Structure formats: structure tokens, C-alpha cells
Amino acid sequence: MIRWNVFPQGTMRSSRFAIALFVLLLAGPQPRTAFGEEGMFPLTELKKLDLGARGLTISAEELYNPDAVSLIDAIVNIGGCTGSFVSKDGLILTNHHCAFPAVQAASTPEQDYVTHGFLALQRKDELRARGNTVRIIESYRDVSRDVLAAVTDTMAPGDRARALSAKTKAIVAETEKQNPGRRAEVAEMFAGRTYVLFLYTYLRDVRLVYVPPRGIGEFGGEEDNWMWPRHTGDFSFLRAYVGPDGSPADYAPENIPYTPKRWLRIQPAGVEEEDPVFILGYPGRTYRHRTSHFLAYEQDGRLPAVADLYEWQIATILRMGASDRGVALKYDARVKSLSNTSKNSRGKLQGLKRLQLVRTKRDEEEKMQAFIMADATLRSKYGTMLQEIGDVYQSMNTTAAFETLMDNLRVASARLSQALTAAEGARELRKPDLQRETPFMERNLARTKDDVRLALRNFHEPVDRALLAEDLRRLRNLKQEQHHPVLDSVFAEMDGKGGPEQWLDRLYAGATLQTPEAVFALMESSPELVDQSADPFVRLARRLAPVYQMLRERRQDRDGQLNKLHADLVEVKQAFQKTTFIPDANSTMRLTLGKIRGYAPADATVYRPFTTLKGIVEKATDSEPFRPSDKLLTLYRERRYGKYAHPALGSVPVALLYNLDTTGGNSGSPLLNAAGEVVGVNFDRTFEATINDYAWSEEYSRSIAVDIRYVLWVTEFIGGAQHILRELGT
């Protein structure tokens, strides 16, 4: 499932997957470059596209018009996913998995909406969707000149990274001051070259309208995640509310449905194979403009390390949860997140190998190097550019294992994580707001605290301890050149105190930060009080603090180097290829277009682009995640398909495939036909399409949507929600 997403500078993830994401952000390299042929077009590029030639009947102006209402005004970002307005009363169609945390929060053992689904028969029954906000684009403008004025070509790399960060924080603060109630974000389009300031409205009162039962919305679960053939009814309906005066407001009973500028029409007849389709949404992050050095680092260093470590953690949690249902529930989201990432990593590794991407990029770069060397000016300016990029990744490679484990250490154990948060917070909160680390800025502090609360709610000491112990064991087993004196002193202490187990006994026995209040109290005290804490986790956090500070600086240094080098790279590449490029995905709105189309995932295997109800029955077992409801089985047996049967397939289509260019963050994006009508809800890519992050491939890049016919069939026949169908006008 396309669950994780990467947010532009200055925002934070709202979902429960923030932890795993955070590791990815820390572990993965940051800036962007400019190769490629991909199709995630930013709004600024739409005018260059010949939509008619691509099979669309909707006009460019109807699609996007900065001076008037257009289709893109119906597209929102909802809690890290994409959603779309589908009625004049603020009804939003998005994924089941995007609404899931809110459904879980609204459920109790007596009212188990997670299992049975939720349907509001009247507006007043619509339930608060906690933690969800709806983000609407108000405007954007290029601020490249402003941002780049903060740096010079001769700055030290770390200083360059810090200067860019400080400048964008200042622009955001200034913009938000001028636009009360709105949030600003600066998106880096091309590292060191192009920066765009977006101004967003956030609707804070979001409610659940219809969420199908888990047996439909999560059918197939982790097993089918990233897979085709797929049979997940991954959709839900929510509604945005505003205050009685029409402006964004916190949840209140007297609030009224929001009236969007534009909403989408639903096409209940769906689409056919080879029909043109397009998607508007918020793809999170791609890395296509990176060099072969980056890909080699991913292939040989980061991905295998992450997959191996996460798979070990999954196995450990599952083993410990097997005998304790409470543990299983607490760690359910963590296991999902870890599985999602490790399976994604395995998919990428397969794709890198199959497409031989490192070799292909290397061949391209050799030609570019020859082009540089053939021109005296280019040679003097860029002769060592590729080599310098290679050097940065070379240095990352040598410390990849250490960094992966250090990043994981601060999330694997909630105890250690809270101690680090308290210790770092105590230091950061002293600083002026704009100089703080992002999680501790005033605008983000509430979210940071929410994360602490969540982590402590899901704390279970034996699992926490097992994960901490294994991470430390792995750190200890690293090759000597990856050892760090601080860690070595910790290991020496362990040995001096009777070995790791006894050392851990004492650590957990002395833990004091057992409630969010205790964490916040220490965080809001002072660095001096932190220094005096006798809590062994706080003491461990203090010992590790310089290591994390070193890592932070090392990364700023790399970021600064790559920011400059990648800016040069775009320059050279444009001269070499005599063309311009589309920037890598960066959570800003993009359009991608293509066709409904199957593919061949492997030798002698062909995947057709539509699944049907028949496949649900084929997969059905007596246990989750493959247990369809009796109602669905009965409807299938009685062939009660309503008007939603696919004529040739003779059954209701459930999911469909297309060769569009999507990535994480596109979850919930409406799949639109040539006329711009909704024919599906995007929710995943295939296993082979995890490679999209590095390269789009006609051979393997396929994304997956719930077919609109299944959305409507479930809403009508399973949910019995005729009033929603009326509101949709179908």
C-alpha cells in the first residue's frame, strides 16, 4: 500500500506511520537532481502538454486555470493522502487506509467501526474524524531568487544547508504572519535552483460518512499489499465542515458542510482496457534525477540493510504477539508500517536488478562526462562534478550500516525515543523558534506531543526491550571502522555490569518517563535539569546526544554538498541533453496520464487490468484478511450486481491497473477518465512498480485503483447507503 509519504519542509506527518517515515527521511539522502523522462507533471508544466493528443477530451483550461475555478480545485490533501470533493456539500472520496486511523479512534469495543464499517444515515450522525485535516491549495509562487539569495557558491557545505533551511523557515513564518489561519510551505523543485512557496487552507473539522467493513476495505491485508491481482475495496467517504461563517474551524456541532469551489462527477459506467486516464494528486518523493552513485548506495547499502532489519523486527514482534493479543494490537500499526517498507524495499531491489538501473545510469554518466571533458569551459567548471557526487555517496556507503542502526535505535525503543525527545526538546525549546529543529518549532510542537502520546499508549516493555537489545547487538557487531567511541563506552559498561541482559534490567527498572506528562515536563524544564536526571534512559540519551548531533551535522554537510552539486548537474544535463526536465515528486500537486493496461510481471505470466468479485471468492478463507462477509458472498452467488457488472467480464470489477506514474502520497487520488470524471480511487502500486521511485518503466510501472463500479456497488449493496449515491448524483 502506498502508505508512507514524504512531506515538504516545514510540515509533519499526521499519521501513525510517522515513525517509520522519520527513519526513512533520516536514512535516505535529501536533495534532488534532474535526469529523466517521468510523467509527474507539476502544475507549471501542464500548459506544455497536448492533452488531446494523449486522448483527453477535457480542455487544459478546464483542468487547470490559475485565474478561475478548475478541476484541480476539487483535489485535496487529506492527512498525507490525496482526496477529492465529489459533492457540493464537501463530500470527499479517498482511501479506506487514509481514513483508518480516524475510524480506529472513533471505535470502541461496543461500537467496532473498524470491523463492521461505519455509515452515517443522516448528516448529524457523521462522526468526527480525529487527526484529519483537509488541505486546499490557495496559491503558489516561485521564491527561488529569495531562497538562493541566502547562499553563495563558496560557502562551506554544512553552512549552505543550514542557510537554506533558515531562509525557508523565515519565508514560511513571514507568509503565515501575513495570512492568518493559513499554512505556508516552501517546496524544493530542483535542488539549489528552484523553490516554490505554496499557501494552503486547512479545514480542521472532518467527519466520517461511509467507511466499508474492514473485510472489504482491507481485504487481502499485508499479504496482498503491493500486489496484483488485488481485491481491496480501499475507499471511504468523508466530509469537510467549516464554521457557520464558512471559514475553517475546529470541530463543533454547529459547523456546516464546506462548499468546495469545484467537485468531481462520478462515472458509474467505469472504464475499459486501453482507455486514457489521468490522476491529479500529491505524490510524495521520487529520486529519478539522482546519479548512479545514489542508486548503487540504495541497492547495495540502504535497501538491503532496511529490509533485513525491519524483517527481523517484524518477526520478533509477531512472535511476541502470538501469545498476547494485547501486544499484537499495540504493535499492529508498527508491523504494518515495517512490512510496508520492507516489502517496498524488496520490490525496489528486484526492480533495480531487473532493469539494471545502476548500469544504465552509469553508461549515461560516462557519456555526459565525455561531453564535459570535450569542452574546455565545461571541463574547468564541471570536470570533477560527477566524481564529487560519487565521493559523497562513497562516504555514505561506508557508514550506511551504522546510520541505519542509529536511526532505528531512536524509534525501535519508545523508552529511548521519549528520553531523546525530552533531552533534545529541553535544549531546542530554549532557542528562538526559527532556529529550532523542525519538530520543536511552535507550529509543530502539538504534533510532536501527539506522537509521544501515541508511542506511550502502544508501549509494551518486553517488545521495546527486545528491539532495543537487538539494535544494540547489531551496532556492536559492526565492523571496527563503523564503531563509535560513545557506543563502545556503552558496550564496555554493559560488560562491566554483568552483560547486556543485566544492563537492560537496570535500564528498564529505572525508567521514569512513563507518561506523556513526565516527558513533557522534562522537555519543558531545562538542559540543566536534564543533566541532573537519574533516569537511566535520559542518561543514555545524553550520552548518545553528541552522536546524533554528529550525524545531523554530517548530513547537513552532505546536503550542502549535494545541493550545490545537483544544481550544477541540472545545468550540465540540460546542455548535454538539450532539453528541460520535470522535477522529482516532492508532495506538491502533480498530474500523470496514461492508459488502463495490464503487464507481464514475470516470465510466462500476464496480469490483466481488471479483477472481479470472482477473485474475492477465489481468495476467500475462513480467516482475516481473506474473509469476505456473508452478505458479499450471497450477493455474488445470487449475481446481484446492479448496474455495475462489467459487460465482458460478467461480474463487478473490483480493482484496475494503469501505467500512470504514481508514488506514495498518491493514495486516494481520483482516477479520472478522458472527460475528467471519477472512474476509480488510486490506492497502491504493484510490487514491480515500487521501482517508480527511481524510474518509470512501461514494462513494470502499474498503479492500482478501486474501480468506481466496486465503490458504488459496495456503497449501494453492502452499505445500503442510497443517500450517498443520490448525493453523488449517480
Q: Which of 318, 533, 547, 553 is nearest to 418 (CA)?
A: 533
According to the binding rule CB under 8 A, does residue 700 interact with its own copies? no
For its own copies, what does the binding mask look like between residues 618 and 657, x meaning CB under 8 A?
x---------------------------------------
Options 28, 131, 304, 615; binder of its own copies; rule CB under 8 A: 615
According to the binding rule CB under 8 A, does residue 316 interact with its own copies? no
H-type alpha helices, 17-117: 18-27, 60-63, 96-106, 113-116
527 or 598: CB nearest its own copies? 598
Options 10, 583, 609, 670; binder of its own copies; rule CB under 8 A: 609
| DSSP of 307-371 | HHHHHHHHHHHHHHHHT-HHHHHHTHHHHHHHHHHHHHHHHHHHHHHHHTHHHHHHHHHHHHHHH
Q: What does the alpha-carbon distance between residue 653 and residue 713 come to, in Å, rounded to a whole number?
A: 10
480 or 605: CB nearest its own copies? 605
Options 606, 622, 630, 638; binder of its own copies; rule CB under 8 A: 606
110 or 603: CB nearest its own copies? 603
Q: Smallest distance from the beta carbon of 617 to its own copies, in angstroms?
A: 9
Q: Smallest distance from the beta carbon of 500 to its own copies, in angstroms?
A: 21
Residue 683 — φ and ψ, nearest 5°?
-140, -10
Q: Smallest distance from the beta carbon of 460 to its own copies, in angstroms?
A: 25
Q: Smallest distance from the beta carbon of 649 to its own copies, in angstroms?
A: 9
Q: Name which of residues 215 to 274 contact its own copies (CB under 8 A).
A: 228-229, 231
CA atoms within 13 A on the CB side of 467: 33
According to the binding rule CB under 8 A, does residue 610 interact with its own copies? yes
Q: Give the binding range for its own copies (CB under 8 A) out of 27-35, 476-484, 577-585, 613-621.
A: 613-621
Q: Give the binding range for its own copies (CB under 8 A) out of 127-135, 274-282, 414-422, 611-619.
A: 611-619
According to the binding rule CB under 8 A, does residue 108 interact with its own copies? no
Q: Give the binding range for its own copies (CB under 8 A) out of 120-128, 216-224, 246-254, 604-612.
A: 604-612
Q: Name which of residues 2 to 21 contact its own copies (CB under 8 A).
A: none
Q: Which three cell numbers stand for residue 697?
A: 518503466
According to the binding rule CB under 8 A, does residue 323 interact with its own copies? no
439 or 598: CB nearest its own copies? 598
According to the binding rule CB under 8 A, does residue 598 interact with its own copies? yes
Return the H-helix or E-strand segment holding 703: strand 703-707
Options 14, 70, 236, 612; binder of its own copies; rule CB under 8 A: 612
Q: Which three cell numbers stand for residue 29?
A: 539522502
Q: Smallest distance from the beta carbon of 606 to its own copies, in angstroms?
A: 4
- Is residue 129 within 8 A of residue 180, CB to CB? The reply is no
Options 342, 408, 611, 701; binder of its own copies; rule CB under 8 A: 611
228 or 241: CB nearest its own copies? 228
According to the binding rule CB under 8 A, does residue 500 interact with its own copies? no
Query: What is the 8-class DSSP label of residue 92?
Result: E
According to the binding rule CB under 8 A, does residue 536 interact with its own copies? no
173 or 617: CB nearest its own copies? 617
Return the H-helix or E-strand segment holding 720: none
Options 607, 625, 627, 631; binder of its own copies; rule CB under 8 A: 607
Q: Smallest distance from the beta carbon of 476 to its own copies, in angstroms?
A: 22
- Could you tell me whether strands 134-142 and 194-203 are parallel, antiparallel, or unpaired per DSSP bridges? antiparallel
Within its chain, how far is the Cα of 160 from the centroid? 27
- Is residue 379 within 8 A of residue 313, CB to CB? The reply is no
Exposed/middle/buried for residue 63 (C-beta within 10 Å: 0-12, 13-18, 19+): buried
Q: Which three cell numbers stand for residue 487?
A: 557506543
Q: What does the alpha-carbon distance between residue 573 and residue 678 come to, in Å, rounded to a whole number?
A: 38
Residue 37 — φ and ψ, nearest 5°?
-140, 15
Q: What does the alpha-carbon distance between residue 37 and residue 43 come to, in Å, rounded to a whole number?
A: 17
Q: Give the binding range for its own copies (CB under 8 A) out of 73-81, 253-261, 562-570, 606-614.
A: 606-614
According to the binding rule CB under 8 A, does residue 590 interact with its own copies? no
Q: Smallest distance from the beta carbon of 603 to its own copies, in angstroms?
A: 3
Q: Smallest distance from the beta carbon of 716 to its own copies, in angstroms?
A: 22
Count of residues in contact with its own copies, rule CB under 8 A: 19
Q: Smallest distance from the beta carbon of 526 to its own copies, in angstroms?
A: 52
Q: Which three cell numbers stand for residue 118?
A: 461505519
According to the binding rule CB under 8 A, does residue 603 interact with its own copies? yes
Q: What does the alpha-carbon distance between residue 252 and residue 243 come to, in Å, rounded to a whole number?
A: 8
Q: Smallest distance from the beta carbon of 657 to its own copies, in angstroms?
A: 8
Q: Give the binding range for its own copies (CB under 8 A) out of 72-80, 109-117, 323-331, 597-605.
A: 597-605
Options 374, 509, 604, 648; binder of its own copies; rule CB under 8 A: 604
- SS3 call for 655: strand
Q: Which three cell numbers stand for residue 366?
A: 560516462
According to the binding rule CB under 8 A, does residue 315 interact with its own copies? no
29 or 229: CB nearest its own copies? 229
- Could you tell me whether strands 75-78 and 653-658 are parallel, antiparallel, or unpaired per DSSP bridges? unpaired
Q: What does the alpha-carbon distance between residue 68 and residue 460 come to, in Å, rounded to a whole number?
A: 53
According to the binding rule CB under 8 A, does residue 351 interact with its own copies? no
Q: Smallest distance from the beta carbon of 359 to its own copies, in angstroms?
A: 12
b/e map 447-469, b = 16+ CB within 10 Å = bbbebbebbbebbbeebbbbbbb
Q: What does the alpha-carbon distance between residue 93 and residue 75 come to, in Å, rounded to a whole number?
A: 10
Amino acid of residue 544: L
Q: Which of 674, 725, 719 is nearest to 278 (CA)?
A: 674
Q: What does the alpha-carbon distance between residue 370 and residue 379 come to, in Å, rounded to a whole number?
A: 9
H-type alpha helices, 356-484: 357-373, 376-382, 385-412, 414-428, 442-457, 461-476
- Is residue 229 within 8 A of residue 259, CB to CB? The reply is no
Q: Smallest distance from the beta carbon of 346 to its own copies, in angstroms?
A: 11
Within its chain, how far is the Cα of 450 from the centroid? 18
Q: Give the binding range for its own copies (CB under 8 A) out of 376-384, 495-503, 600-608, 712-720.
A: 600-608
Q: Name which of residues 352 to 391 contact its own copies (CB under 8 A).
A: 354
Residues that bind its own copies (CB under 8 A): 228-229, 231, 354, 598, 602-612, 614-615, 618
